[in-house]
Homo-oligomer: A and B are copies of this chain.
Amino acid sequence: MGRLKEFDEDKAIDGAVDCFWARGYEATSVRDLAEHMGIGGASLYNAYGGKRALFVTVLERYANRSSRERIARLEATGRPRQAIEAFLAEIIDRSLKDRARKGCLLVNSALDVAPHDAEIGKVVAGYLEEIRSFFQRCIEAGRDAGQIPRNIDAVGVSAHLLGVLLGVRVLARTRPDRALLESVVRPALDLLNRPAMPGTRRKIATD
């Protein structure tokens, strides 16, 4: 029943992602959105409800296409420790290739809109938690595979890795320098290669 949609919904949402990603939520106008989505303002409100509702849709599209895709792809390799390393390496590469300085839409949203909008805040927190639990699964699998020391705390270190990841994405916005970003990450990766016994005096093997 009714007239058919004339625009490509996938391309429209991708256009909306580009808009919000490049300019941020507040700075993006409905007219900007409509233009980059290839539709009129009326169609935008008819199909997506409005700016805020569209933003939630955009967040999910972004999460599916970036972090969830990466998690699924790396986890499927069956090499847990290398998956963590590759995840962080890809983020650094993405940040350095990002000439427009758009950063990560989830991180941008976590600071820009999440604190002022409880619902969006929960959505963003959920996506970040997915990344942390990916790290946790990798650590646990790596322990079982003998790749990662048994005595490291999977929950705690996964939070550490998430924090380091977020730090990289923030720092890259003002200082996209490979040496700097790799320095941020390196100690976290070293942690996975050698035992950590905080507060315990331990002997070091001599060579």
Considering only residues 143-170 of chain A, those with a C-beta below 8 Å from chain B are: 153, 155-157, 159-160, 162-170
Is A24 on the interface with B (CB-CB < 8 A)?
yes
Residue contact A111 to B114, C-beta cutoff 8 Å:
no
Nearest neighbor of A152 in chain B, beta-carbon distance: B187
- With both chains docked as a complex, state the minimum distance between the C-beta of A112 and any C-beta of chain B, in angstroms: 6
Considering only residues 74-118 of chain A, those with a C-beta below 8 Å from chain B are: 101-103, 107-108, 110-112, 114-116
- With both chains docked as a complex, state the minimum distance between the C-beta of A51 and any C-beta of chain B, in angstroms: 14
Give the interface residue-count category, chain A: 35 or more
Q: Once bound together, how far apart are the Cα atoms of A194 and B128, in whole Å?
A: 30
- With both chains docked as a complex, state the minimum distance between the C-beta of A130 and any C-beta of chain B, in angstroms: 13
Residue contact B162 to A167, C-beta cutoff 8 Å:
yes
- With both chains docked as a complex, state the minimum distance between the C-beta of A114 and any C-beta of chain B, in angstroms: 5
Interface residues of A (CB under 8 A from B): 23-24, 26-27, 101-103, 107-108, 110-112, 114-116, 121, 124-125, 128-129, 153, 155-157, 159-160, 162-171, 173-175, 180, 183-188, 190-191, 193-202, 204-207
